[in-house]
Amino acid sequence: MYISLLFYKFRKISLLCFGLMTLFFNSQVFAEQNNSNSIADVIEKLTPAVVNISTTQLIEGKNNDNIPQDLPEEFYKFFEEFNNNREGFDNKPTKVLSLGSGFFIDDKGHIVTNNHVIDNAEEINITIGDNDGKVYKAKVIGKDKKTDLALLKIEVKEKLPFVRFGDSDRIRVGDSVIAIGNAFGFGGTVTSGIVSAKGRHLDGIFYEEFIQTDASINRGNSGGPMFNMNGEVIGVNTAIVSPSGGNVGIGFAIPSNTAKSIINQLIKGGKIQRGWLGIQFLPINQKIAKAFGLGDDVRGAIVVDVLKGSPAEKAGIKMSDIIVKFNGIALDKANKFPKVVASAPVNKKIPLDVIRKGNIVTLYVSLEFQKNDDQIVSKRAETTVGTTSYGISVANLTSEIRKHYNIDESIKAGVVITKLDKNSNAFKNGAKEGDVIITINQDEVNSAKQFKTLLTNIKLRSPKGEAVAILFISRKNNNSIMPIPIELD
């Protein structure tokens, strides 16, 4: 009995000691794991290469839209009240301070940032790290508005810390990322998150497919780097979606592979040259595809305007052509079309496939370097003829009609909407008096009489309940597509 009891106590003590050892061992493992998950070592190496940028910019007149975007919230109320109370003043330009971020890409003083951070700046000041007492004046080496990138340079004698670009094509949704920047002017702010999505498109920005992240990006972060966990720059923080102006977990960065290409060109010559086609287009959608009798899987870019004298016109591209392939690349996403064109070789025959009235047509275009103004004005005169169909009254283009509705001479064909029935589908879908209807379902409209005939033919050829006319409309020299359902008898 004594021996048994002694064994029991010994066993109990042994289990207790084992439990303490296990707890100690597990604590050590947890501490090691927790330490291995820290990104402090990576941050210490990267932060010195990230700079704070402050600029002095001129704000014209009383336009609140011109207030710089990378400012703390309280500044916006000040500027809005200031501008709104400037009655009686001469509306001279006002100097304001704008904040942003950037990063060194070499030890020679080259800094990458966003174009909107430094655009129209009279003075650009750079602060490195937390050294607020030492400010460097930067000069602009080059900038590119279409990708919102800019290259700056400061002159220093000592070697500077810098970071390297990584391969943005290799990142995956779910990968961890780090953002460092001058958030709200505090400088050196570090946030982390994941890649939320790839290939995002933002309205008004046609040359890029952005990386989306939930890493906190706020005002002042613009132009700062987004790093992968190896410390490589895989994006340039550019924009946020925010109803309140602060971070809500949706930020966007320019992929590093785009930035590398642009920055290399800026370093070499300070100027970006892209291939130029000379069209305006809109993405094809199911409603347009259905109206043209195409399958639901058809993707591409529908041409809404062809500039006079452009490579597109010389190649035979016509308004309402649907471009489905360019230089061997299928346009599964029409938004990537400008980037495909911009990166294609210049002065070399390039094939493109278009759908024209249901048939695939292969054309060959020779791109030119981008031009600023290639509109060639042509004059035209016709007798005035009018007609009304499906609640839309139209008239032929004449000098009197052009003058009355202020229609530019560069619009060479089409009919003008002179009156709309408020109960018509055209009115409900946004058509307005003075709009010029250029084509209907890929057929050019050359007269008011033809306008009525084309609509009638669509009605006769369409199954019951499915008649839709796709109008190509020019309004104040801006083209758009407008689907109009046609009521069947």
Residues serving a catalytic function are 116, 148, 222
Interacting residues of 208 by C-beta distance below 8 A, sequence separation 6+: 147, 148, 201, 202, 254, 255, 258, 339
Report how far residue 91's alpha carbon sits from residue 27's, in angstroms, rounded to the nearest whole number: 67
| Residue 57 bridge partners (DSSP) | 96, 121
**Residue 278 · residue 374 · CB < 8 Å:** yes
The 8 Å CB, 24+ separation contacts for 76-80 are 76/245
Give the CA distances from residue 139 to residues 92, 220, 237, in Å, rounded to whole numbers and listed in that order: 26, 20, 21
Is 193 exposed, middle or buried, given 0-12, 13-18 or 19+ CB atoms closer than 10 A? Answer: middle
User: What are the tokens at 371?
Assistant: 């031009």
Report how far residue 257's alpha carbon sits from residue 88's, in angstroms, rounded to the nearest whole number: 51
Report how far residue 115's alpha carbon sits from residue 182's, in angstroms, rounded to the nearest whole number: 16
DSSP secondary structure of 382-412: ----EEEETTEEEEE--HHHHHHHT--TT--
Give the CA distances from residue 117 to residues 112, 124, 234, 297, 334, in Å, rounded to whole numbers and listed in that order: 11, 10, 20, 41, 29
Q: Which of 101, 110, 103, 225 has the alpha carbon at shortest distance from 156?
A: 110
**Residue 444 · residue 469 · CB < 8 Å:** no
- In this structure, what are the phi and psi dihedrals at residue 43, rounded to the nearest 5 degrees? -60, -40
Give the CA distances from residue 276 to residues 62, 142, 147, 279, in Å, rounded to whole numbers and listed in that order: 36, 20, 16, 9
Q: Name the DSSP letter for residue 463.
A: P
Report how far residue 453's alpha carbon sits from residue 447's, in angstroms, rounded to the nearest whole number: 10
Report how far residue 264's alpha carbon sits from residue 249's, in angstroms, rounded to the nearest whole number: 31
Element (H, E) at 189: strand 189-202
**Residue 313 · residue 278 · CB < 8 Å:** yes
Is the torsion defined by CA of 125, 127, 133, 138 positive or negative?
Answer: negative
